[in-house]
Amino acid sequence: MNRNINSLQELDCRCYDESLHVKLIGDTIREQYTTWFCCGFGVFDSETVVAGSSTGEIRVYSSDDLVRKKAQGNAKPKSLLSLKAHHDGACYGLQLADVSGTGLLFSCGDDGTVRVWSWESLVRAIGEGGSSEVAPVFEARAPLSYGVPLDLNSISVDGGSNRVYAGAGDGRCYSWDLGSGAECPALGVDGAGGVLCTALRGDSLACGHTDGAVRLWDARCGTVRHEMALAHAPVNCVEFDSGGHWLAAGCGPELHLWSSCAASSAESIGTESCPQALLLEPNRILVGGDDIHIRRFDFSGRMLSKVATSCACAYGLARSPATGVLAMCGVANRLEILADNGSRLGGLS
């Protein structure tokens, strides 16, 4: 009996294929326990959401579809496009950027590789039903560490100098020139803990390390401008505000704020949970972490709101510049679309 079976609910005693049954069970369990480590909104098209997962898969969704399927009850959203097996391991970092007028999707992961796709090519593939393969326009690999690939945990892009930076588990930040493909000198100091997170604004590159250090680099000349040793380790997230005047870092149950202009610590904010994702916006800071809440603080450290979500542990936060909605991703296959007040508009689960 030739039937296209797409879900466990469609299997019955009249149409039973044991190998298909095992595959569907495996796919269901795998998806249920997928962790989404990073997310962002599309380049020149903020209606699309891109997310990278623990399986190494990168998916593109329509935010409108994620919201609409919630209104339809149990309808399951389908991805517009899936970039499968592009990382031999988890995809830890994503960034969507406009580089010299060209929209690009950057990713890095557990296999020590940085890959870049043309956003125009991805949109074209979506228009063709998401069935066509999309080849990266750029690919670079970090040096091997004792014969094995380095884990690349975070990615930052400088569209002005056409460089991409990737923070690695050996404590260094590797970089490449997007035009020539040449590897640039790595930024790092001997004995540093692994780089878990990076943030770039102008010529300032901030790196958060597993040993509780935050290093602020001058990306032009490769020197450390400032080094801050925090009381807790590791540093899970760092972020600049849009003007590059403030730098925030999350570690332990605290959020630390520095004034980039004064090169001094401004605030240490108790966050109740361990921050793992940050957004710095005018007059407020959004924090997601290892509990179900999104918290908002002002720059003096006062908590403005604390909203429960359906995500038990968040790793990524992004805001649509066009609609203002939030995307949040994390454990248990959670990719959520949230209103500004934190209420859930839609998502995968």
Cβ atoms of 60 and 80 within 8 Å: the answer is yes
Q: What phi and psi values does residue 192 have, to the nearest 5 degrees?
A: -75, 150
Report pLDDT for 149.
Answer: 87
Cα torsion 283, 166, 196, 343 to 10°: value is: 40
Select 37-347's CATH number: 2.130.10.10, 1.10.1740.10, 3.90.1150.10, 2.60.40.1180: 2.130.10.10
What is the mean pLDDT, run by run of 10 residues, along the chain of 349 residues?
49 69 76 92 89 94 88 77 78 94 94 94 89 87 86 95 96 96 93 95 95 94 92 95 92 91 77 96 94 94 94 95 93 94 87
Q: What are the domain boundaries of the chain?
A: 37-347
Q: According to the model, what pLDDT value does residue 131 have?
A: 64
157 DSSP β-pair partners: 164
Handedness of CA 333, 295, 96, 157 (dihedral sign): negative
Is 24 strand, coil or helix?
helix
Phi, then psi, of 146 in degrees rounded to 5: 55, 40
Question: How many CB atoms are located within 10 Å of the residue 169 CB?
Answer: 19
Task: Note whether 196 and 209 are within 8 A (CB).
Answer: yes
For residues 206 and 185, what is the distance between their CA atoms, to the nearest angstrom? 16
Residue 68, phi-psi category: left (phi > 0), alpha (psi -120 to 50), beta (remainder): alpha
Residues 6+ apart with CB under 8 A from 186: 172, 173, 174, 175
Which H, E and C letters describe 26-91, residue by residue?
HHHHHHHCCCEEEEEECCCCCCEEEEEECCCCEEEEEHHHHHHHHHCCCCCCCCCEEECCCCCCCE
Name every residue whose Cβ is closer than 8 Å to that of residue 225 and which is 6 or more positions away in sequence.
204, 216, 217, 218, 263
* pLDDT value for 4: 46
